[in-house]
Amino acid sequence: MRILIAPDSFKECLTATEVAKNIALGILQVMPEATITCIPIADGGEGTVEAITTATNGKIIPIDTLDALMRPISSFYGITGDGKTAIIEMAAASGLGLIKTSERNPLKTSTFGTGMLIKSVMEKGYTSIILGIGGSATNDGGMGMARALGYRFLNKQNQEIGEGGGSLYSLAFIDSSKVDPLLKNTVITVACDVTNPLCGPNGASAIYGPQKSASPEMVKILDENLMHFSKIIIEQLGKDIANIPGAGAAGGLGAGMLAFTNASLSPGFEIVKTITNLEKHIQQADLIFTAEGKIDYQTQFGKTPFGVAQLAFKYQKPVIALCGIIGQGANILYEKGISSIFAIADKPMSVEESVRNAAVLLQNTSERIIRLIQSKSKLIN
């Protein structure tokens, strides 16, 4: 049997490569003769650098930057195998997984560290950048990123406003006189996994703010601040970006990339799918495994399991999806190409316990699935 394993990462737990490896180990316990192909996938969040560098025989370069609370951290970026394109994921700088739960506050967190990574790769001569913007801890509309590239954000007293989404209400002027000149000739493709607008009930603050520890009161403030931010951008930069699909990605970094750089937004899965030649591998497979930390109603809006399932449906290939949590509305995916969804927990357990034991749980679950498939095959024969 030819089995393709094309998972995303389990956030704050396992990389996509580690997820694939453990699914494969479980399969081989039952079916050692299986031909297994592992293709780590990402949709713009954690693992984007790994997925693209793995697929292109590229390399990962260590670099220092700042986290979302402006503290020094060790980070990285990737270079494609042909040496022409730099790959950055904001999760490696301004990511939620880099700060403690007790420290998370989207009124204060900043994308400045992501901007530092962009500036660094431009200074190294790269004029083509793929930027994955999933997994953010921020809600600043990309102000921090732009500030790292030379923009200044001033209040009515002509003073720099503070970092974070909570400061945007005081913005009066955007000064672009000291923007890094390298930015003009740099083409940035932004890989995002959502289509939310910047503001409103489906915007960055309302939908994703609570995941970043925003209270209902904070969500209201953040949404109003982003609306003010977008109005200043229209007035002073002539760019109306608030309602472009994906503008609300990463706490509004999608909007910020459109406003302050020569960026275009693309579905992250589509970028990685093309680079990894995923469709060809799906055509050749008899069975496909995909996975993500949580699968729910939102998965159908550009997440990896949905993308894999759509391609598999095209060729009438069965897809098994594994996850840590099956969330509300996940059953809609049975109409979108996924054959079955399995949560990996094998007994009542906390999320923390599931995270600690995710590798073994993946192995055990995939083993049980293959045993079921094998026994069904014997019954048919």
154 is written with which tokens?
């001033």
Identify whether the C-beta of residue 10 lies closer than 8 Å to the C-beta of residue 321.
no
381 residues of the chain, pLDDT tens digit each: 999 999 999 987 898 999 999 999 999 999 999 999 999 998 888 889 999 999 999 999 999 999 999 999 999 999 999 999 999 999 999 999 899 999 999 999 999 999 999 999 999 999 999 999 999 999 999 999 999 999 999 999 999 999 999 999 999 999 999 999 999 999 999 999 888 999 999 999 999 999 999 999 999 999 999 999 999 999 999 999 999 999 999 999 999 999 999 999 999 999 999 999 999 999 999 999 999 999 999 898 888 999 999 999 999 999 999 999 999 999 999 999 999 999 999 999 888 899 999 999 999 999 999 999 988 766 555
Q: What is the pLDDT of residues 201-234, one digit of tens each?
A: 999 999 999 999 999 999 999 999 999 999 999 9
Domain 48-269's class? alpha beta
CATH (one of 3.40.120.10, 3.40.50.10350, 3.40.50.2300, 3.40.50.720) for 2-40+286-380: 3.40.50.10350
User: Rounded to whole angstroms, how far apart are CA atoms 146 and 232?
Assistant: 14
Question: Could you tell me the residue ranges of all domains in the chain?
Answer: 2-40+286-380, 48-269
Phi-psi region of 316 (alpha: psi -120 to 50; beta: other; left: phi over 0): left
Compute the distance between CA of residue 48 and CA of residue 69 in angstroms, rounded to an integer.
22
Lookup: tokens for 108: 């204060």
Record the tokens describing residue 224, joined without a space: 């109003």
* pLDDT value of position 302: 80
The 3-class SS string of 332-371 reads HHHHCCCCEEEECCCCCCCHHHHHHCHHHHHHHHHHHHHH
State pTM to two decimals: 0.89
Is residue 139 within 8 Å of 218, Cβ to Cβ?
Answer: no
